[in-house]
Amino acid sequence: MIDWLLKRFPALLMARRNIGRTKVRSVLAALGIVIGVIAIASLGMFGLTLRYQITENFDDIANQVTVEPNRDGRQAPTAISEREVRDIRRIAGTSASVVPLQQQRAPVSLDRGPPQNRFMYAVDSPAGVYEASEGTIPENFRSGALVGQQLAMEYDLEPGSSISINGSTTRVRAILAPGGTVGFLPTANVVVVPTTMFQQRTYSQVIVQAEDSQAANETAMALREQLNDRRDRFTVDDNADLADQIGETFQALNLFLLGIGSISLLVAGVSILNVMLMSTVERRQEIGVLRAVGFQKRDVLKIMLSEAVLLGVVGGIVGVVFSMIAGGLINHFMLDDALLAFRPDNFLYVGLAFAFGVGTSLLSGLYPAWKAANERPVDALRS
């Protein structure tokens, strides 16, 4: 295969042999490219991984709208009524899930000791907003309680443990998974109970989960318009803006990281330029002979550029291998899954780094190659 390639592209043969002539120098020049490629690829992947780690949790949020009473509004209600919840359901449409929440303080005892006053959430359909790490969250929540993981650890609770709320004993149905929530609802330290527990008719918050961020955005606009007839009675938050902002921030961060990586490639380019210039000076007579025996300028140009590109390709390939290892490590430590390094976005950065590496070599080779090709053979032979 390589033999065939060298036969087919004789410039490569010459280039390959010339690179072999000054091994240490060539290896060092290629090393510059290796480092440059690793820098660009791994900084790019690092940025992506950081973004992935953060947006993973935000994916749900972007689809979501929260409705709360406007706390600053003078004539605003202090809670959301059943009727308004029905309005919200109607406006959000059937494809969205609407979860009304109640907040309540009540005396709770988690360890059979004296009860403490704790904040609790009351939800009809907790499966819409929470995920369980142990046990299962019932679709139809009529009895029992869900407990945050931190509380569960602190009081040694598990599904089936009994706790007492408001003086009556109830069973823990599930332990909430950390971060497995929608919106900014806290999970770690909460106790979630069915709405039947409080005999309350109003809600403190309604969470609407739309199909995607665009639907969420439209729902939010419709809600603002229809719930708030001219007076700002309710605050409607959708997180589409937030998600956009996060995206933009990370894009800027990634560009910045790539910029830093590019500096190392620039340095590598200068080192290739240096190596190639030295090589053209040392081989001046040889190039003169080639020109004398009938090599055209472009043939000399081809040979010299092949040399630069060969350095770039070899450096690039080694760089890509190391970058994938670096990507695996980054993903292993940040996301606990090294295989996430093989996400297509990462390959984009690796490919970009490789292309930059080869491109830098090509650019750095241009001037020395041009210089070698344009020397008059008489002058070159005389030296």
Partner 1 sequence: MIETRDVVKRYRTGGETLTALKGIDFAVEPGEFVSIMGPSGSGKTTLLNLLGLLDDPSEGEVLLDGEDVTGISDTERTRSRKRTIGFVFQNFYLIPTLTARENVEIPALFDHDPTVEERAVDLLERMGLGDRLDHKPDELSGGQKQRVAIARSLINEPRLLLADEPTGNLDRATGKQILEEFVDITDRDVAVIAVTHDELVNEYVDRTVELVDGYMGEDVPTDGEHASDSALSASEPGSDGGGPP
CB 62 within 8 A of CB 201: no
The minimum distance between CB 21 and partner 1, in angstroms, equals 5
The minimum distance between CB 297 and partner 1, in angstroms, equals 7
Query: How far from 40 is each of 1, 12, 350, 354, CA to CA, in Å?
Result: 31, 27, 8, 9
Q: How many CB atoms lie within 10 A of CB 264?
A: 18
The minimum distance between CB 278 and partner 1, in angstroms, equals 16
CB closer to partner 1 out of 17 and 201: 17
Q: Which two tokens stand for residue 318?
A: 């080694």
Q: Which two tokens stand for residue 301?
A: 């140009």
The minimum distance between CB 272 and partner 1, in angstroms, equals 19
Where do contacts with partner 1 occur on this chain (CB under 8 A)? Answer: 10-11, 13-14, 17-18, 20-21, 285-286, 289-297, 299, 376-378, 381-382
C-alpha torsion sign, points 265, 269, 274, 275: positive
CB closer to partner 1 out of 279 and 360: 279
**Can you tell me the distance from the alpha carbon of 293 to that of 338, in angstroms, rounded to the nearest whole number?**
56
**Can you tell me the distance from the alpha carbon of 313 to that of 355, in angstroms, rounded to the nearest whole number?**
9
Query: How far from 44 is each of 11, 49, 262, 283, 346, CA to CA, in Å?
Result: 34, 9, 11, 39, 8
CB closer to partner 1 out of 226 and 296: 296
**Can you tell me the distance from the alpha carbon of 5 to that of 12, in angstroms, rounded to the nearest whole number?**
8
The minimum distance between CB 23 and partner 1, in angstroms, equals 11
CB closer to partner 1 out of 14 and 147: 14
The minimum distance between CB 366 and partner 1, in angstroms, equals 19
The minimum distance between CB 213 and partner 1, in angstroms, equals 58
What is the DSSP code (8-state) at residue 132? E
Residues 6+ apart with CB under 8 A from 252: none
CB closer to partner 1 out of 21 and 171: 21
Residue 83 one-letter amino acid:
R
CB closer to partner 1 out of 79 and 289: 289
CB closer to partner 1 out of 3 and 229: 3
**Can you tell me the distance from the alpha carbon of 374 to that of 383, in angstroms, rounded to the nearest whole number?**
15
The minimum distance between CB 269 and partner 1, in angstroms, equals 25
Q: How many CB atoms lie within 10 A of CB 2?
A: 9
The minimum distance between CB 22 and partner 1, in angstroms, equals 10
CB 208 within 8 A of CB 88: yes
Instruction: For the chain, give the longest Cα–Cα distance.
Output: 106
CB closer to partner 1 out of 6 and 188: 6
Alpha carbon dihedral 218, 223, 226, 232, in 10-degree steps, equals: -130
CB closer to partner 1 out of 30 and 106: 30
CB closer to partner 1 out of 88 and 275: 275
Q: How many CB atoms lie within 10 A of CB 113?
A: 9
CB 137 within 8 A of CB 174: yes
Which among 257, 287, 231 has a CA at the least distance from the CA of 15? 287
The minimum distance between CB 312 and partner 1, in angstroms, equals 20
